Every structure is written in structure tokens, then in C-alpha cells.
Structure 1
């Protein structure tokens, strides 16, 4: 009983910043404030994701690293671009229901692709194809890898995603819940990017300096 009351922001001064809780069969209806936050929290990361992906591409030493950089970069940039476009259309062009619906589905599909793409630099191409099929569970095979560098960063990124799900499921209960979920996604993506950059693409001489 205590937890629901603690999270009942509808009875506080913050109620104007949040949408009312809707049944499962009805559409999520953010407030104007939440619409703006949903767009901004992912639009902000579009340029950094493009620059970061380009950095991995230019640091690539062989064909596999180049392919991995492309796959990961497409997943990373696609995640933020598609999410931003979807939320912008949902906010400013909500009358385009078919377009909005297609973008919503595409937004969900990009998430699955990004999950697999985040692990692309850690595996060979054949293994990657298996993980794309697996979708949700690519991280399980990491435990069998002989080289465990970057494992903790990958785990930390996964924790960010999991914690973010609490807010993803809290629309109508917590102000800006969806935007907060976006931030957790950005933190998770940033943590995984750091692991990929540091342990797989950064030259060994610079890795030593970073470790110090």
C-alpha cells in the first residue's frame, strides 16, 4: 500500500507534467512537456552517436573491425534517430496515424537490432548472425569467452537498460517516465560504447595509458 501512494504523483504539484495512467488497450498520451522531453532526450545523442561510430570506423585495423564498426554504428545511430523521429511525429503530426504506427513498430525493431549490434565487435560474423536471431539473449554466450576484458562494462550497460525498464513501465505514475527511460538507454549505450572503444578499438599503447 505504501509504494503506490509514494509514487502517486497525480496528487502532487507535478501532475501537470505527466499523463494519466491509461488501460493496456489504449494509446499512451504524453503531456506537451513529456512529448518535448521524449524527443530531446534522444535527439541530443544523435550527433555524438554519429561521431562515436565514425571514430570506431577510423580506428579499425582489419575488415572484421570495419564491418563491426558499421553494424554497431548503424544500430547505435538508428536507435536515437528512429526514436527521435517517432516521438516527433507522435507529438507534432499525430493525425498521421499510419505513419506513426509504422514508426512505432520500426522503433521497437531497432531496439532488437541494437541489442545484437552492441555485441557485434566482440564476436566473429557467424556468431553474430546467431545473436541477431537470438535477439534478447546475446550476452549469455559472453560468459564462455576466454578474453573477459570489458565484461563489467557490458554488465553495467545491461543494468542501466534493466533499471530503465522500471520507468518504461511507469507512464502515468511518474512524471517524464518515458524520457527517464530514454536517459537510461543512453547511459547503457554509452557504457557499451566505452567498452568497445577501449578494449577492442583503442591501440594497445593507448589502452595502457587509459588504464593508468
Structure 2
């Protein structure tokens, strides 16, 4: 997840920093592919269509995010890089919505889960459509929307607490905290390799929420 700050113009990182940025999320992309395979292989034999779909969407969103970020940082051509930056920022919305999907379709289910899923994906789609404008004129709003969209899970915290084991809740919440703490390094541009450090926080947040889905969401999705 590459939240490039308002001051982080295309091509502003040193060669060493871009290598670190590319490697951190390149590794994450490979881990995401492995994670999707693990989720599908550990799926309950009686898993319903919603559970399989939720796992596939979550896994695909991880792969998309980390692949987009890796390509953006790895390709030096500035013209191509500008296009990939839009894709990179858009992928963040996809990842956030994809992370919600298992909890919406499998854990919450019913009207609450369906409505939350529709709302989250609608906001994500709006963010993607507005991405070129937000990046040029209101990047701070872009970052704020990422955080607000990620934390609107608190609106359904009570039913989520009732449906998800406490360990799953803790992993989910810890992932959100790690994502949020990483923003400090994302914005702290004076620190060398701040963006690569941010990438590590993003990977950590993804890992925590992945384990919540793998061990506590999907096993409950038997048809």
C-alpha cells in the first residue's frame, strides 16, 4: 500500500530508496499469492459460495495492491510511473474494500454484512474514479479517506464482536493499528527510506488481518 504523501512527487525517491520500496512490496506480492493459495487450500470442504468468493476477493486485492506498488516503484520511466502512481493509489481502495469483504460476507452476513459491503465498495469505487483529481488537488483528502474507510468498521463493532472470536477481533484491530501507525513514517519524509519503512508497516497490518481471516473468519463459513 503506497500512500505517497502530497510532497512525494513522481521520481522523488533516490535509487536506493526505490529499490527498497520495490523489494518490500515485491516480497509482499509473492507472499500474497502464497496467502491466497493457503486460504483456498484450507477452505472448509463445505464452504459456501460466499466464503469462497470472500477469500478470492481478499486474496486478489492483496495481490493487486502489492503488485501495483511494486511496479510503480520499480519502473524508472517517469511517464509510465505517473500512470502507475494512479493505479497504485487506486489499489489502496481496492485493498481496503477487499479486506472488508470476508468479514461482511462470512462473519456478519445478512443485511448488515451486505449493506456494509456495498457501502465500502461504493466508496472505494468513488475514490478510484476521483483518483486523478484527488492526487493533483487534494492528496490530503485521499489519505484521510483511506483512514476513514479503513476505520468505519467501528460502526458495526457490536455485531462483529458477537460473531467473531475475540482472537479474531484482536488480530483485526491490531492490523488496523499497525496500518495507522505506519502513516507516521509515510508522512515523515525527512527520514531516509521512510517509504520503505511505511511499506513494512503495511505488510504487517495485512499479515495480522490475513491471519484473522484465515483462522477465524473462513472456518466459520461452512455451508
What is the TM-score when the length of structure 1 is the normalising length?
Answer: 0.76
* Contact in 1 for aligned 2:174/2:205 (Cα 8 Å): yes
RMSD, aligned CA: 2.3
Q: 1:88-127, aligned counterparts within 5 Å?
A: 88-89=74-75, 92-94=76-78, 97=79, 99-124=80-105, 126-127=114-115
Q: Give the match for residue 54 of structure 1.
A: 37
Task: Find out whether 1:86 has 2:87 as its counterpart.
Answer: no
* Contact in 2 for aligned 1:119/1:138 (Cα 8 Å): no
Separation in 2 of the partners of 1:81 and 1:48?
Answer: 11
Q: 1:7-22, aligned counterparts within 5 Å?
A: none
**Displacement of 1:138:** 4.1
- Unpaired runs of at least 5, structure 2: 106-112, 125-148
What is the TM-score when the length of structure 2 is the normalising length?
Answer: 0.73
**Does 147-156 or 195-204 show the bigger shift?**
195-204
Could you report, residue by residue, the CA deviation over 1:118-177 in whole angstroms, capped at 9, with x for unpaired residues? Answer: 121111373312221244154123313121421111111011111110111112x10100
* Contact in 1 for aligned 2:10/2:81 (Cα 8 Å): no
Which portions of structure 1, spanning 4 or more consecutive aligned residues, are displaced by more than 4 angstroms?
25-28
Looking at CA atoms only, which structure, 1 or 2, has the larger radius of gyration? Answer: 1
* Contact in 2 for aligned 1:83/1:107 (Cα 8 Å): yes
- Unpaired runs of at least 5, structure 1: 1-21, 205-212
**Does 68-77 or 51-60 show the bigger shift?**
51-60
- In structure 2, the CA distance between the partners of 1:184 and 1:119, relative to structure 1 (3 Å rule), is same
Task: Find out whether 1:133 has 2:122 as its counterpart.
Answer: yes
